[in-house]
Amino acid sequence: MIGWATRHVQSALFAAGRLARTPLATAFTVLVIAIALTLPTALGLAIISVRQATGDFASAVDVSVYFKQDVSLDKARQLASSLRQRSGVASVKLVSADEALQAFRDRSGFGAALDELGENPLPHALDVRPAPDATDPDRMESLRRYIAAWPEVELVQLDNDWVRRLNAILDLLRGVVTGAAVLLGAGVLAIIGNTVRLEIFNRRAEIEVAKLVGGSNAFVRRPFLYTGLFYGLVGGVLATLLVLLGLALLNGPVTRLAGSYGSSFRLLTPGWREAAGLVAAGALLGLLGAGLAAARHLARIEPRT
């Protein structure tokens, strides 16, 4: 056990020493790996941020019911209470024409223009919120048709169209990011594999001598595996730092922009778990890339005299 640990520590130190001997080349390789890991991570975080920010809306698929102009407030109240009895309806809120006008006046700033109109152009309306388990398209549609059949009703509007579109766009983007992550991951694999391959060729004499004096394949391979592991590990750490740096730079402007639209949207910051996942992904890709390169090229180097 101690011998095993000693072997690995020695191989690791040996590999780290080699990398440290060519700091510039090592730094560039690590940077490329870090960038390749940063891009999908940053895009993925952005999508999760948007999804989480819109999550509240997505479940709030309200149905707006507008009565005809000549429907009285009493009639509207009566219809509202009958609608409350229907299954799949969580709540019904009556918005009288006066309330609607007052709200519009407060919010729009067109108060003076409205005064010119003399009479209230707005109808009474209902905000119908379906029960959380009744928001699927079929039940929503049947609810819409049920209400639309009332003679007093002018218009029934489902407010979930934009939510569905946004979700579809986010799904699409997530697919794109997943694809990009797979491609960039393959890129990292190729970068590390190629770097280790060059390293193997540069160390050819050393490998031959090591095999000549009785070094096993495992002994010869181990430092190269550590080389790949270190590339991936350091690349993953650097990628995490780049993501955090990018968030620190962008979060101010993004929050200000969202604030100007009255939204409290902000980008999510990766926690310890996400950071550890990113570093682990880098390490795994590094180990795998080095392993593939070593399997392919080390066996071909056999000592000759």
Binding site for other proteins (CB under 8 A): 2-4, 6-7, 10, 205-206, 208-217, 219, 303-305
**Least Å distance between CB 7 and other proteins?**
6
**Least Å distance between CB 231 and other proteins?**
21
What is the spatial distance between Cα 105 and Cα 112, in angstroms, rounded to a whole number? 9
- Residue 215 DSSP SS3: coil
What is the spatial distance between Cα 264 and Cα 261, in angstroms, rounded to a whole number? 9
Q: Which of 236, 246, 276 is nearest to 46 (CA)?
A: 246
Q: Which is nearer to other proteins, 2 or 149 (CB)?
A: 2
- Map tokens 């880098």 to a residue: 282
Quickly list DSSP for 47-94. Answer: HHHHHHHHHHHHH---EEEEE-TT--HHHHHHHHHHHHHSTTEEEEEE
**Least Å distance between CB 293 and other proteins?**
21
- Map tokens 């609810």 to a residue: 143
**Least Å distance between CB 216 and other proteins?**
4
**Least Å distance between CB 176 and other proteins?**
47
**Least Å distance between CB 203 and other proteins?**
9
Q: Which is nearer to other proteins, 214 or 262 (CB)?
A: 214
**Least Å distance between CB 244 and other proteins?**
39
Q: Which of 211, 200, 202 is nearest to 305 (CA)?
A: 211
Q: Which is nearer to other proteins, 112 or 213 (CB)?
A: 213
- Residue 156 DSSP SS3: strand
Q: Which is nearer to other proteins, 28 or 219 (CB)?
A: 219
Residues contacting residue 178 through CB under 8 Å, at least 6 positions apart = none
What is the spatial distance between Cα 116 and Cα 11, in angstroms, rounded to a whole number? 86
Q: Which is nearer to other proteins, 2 or 112 (CB)?
A: 2
Q: Which is nearer to other proteins, 256 or 304 (CB)?
A: 304
What is the spatial distance between Cα 23 and Cα 128, in angstroms, rounded to a whole number? 65
Q: Which is nearer to other proteins, 108 or 217 (CB)?
A: 217
Q: Which of 11, 25, 33 is nearest to 234 (CA)?
A: 33
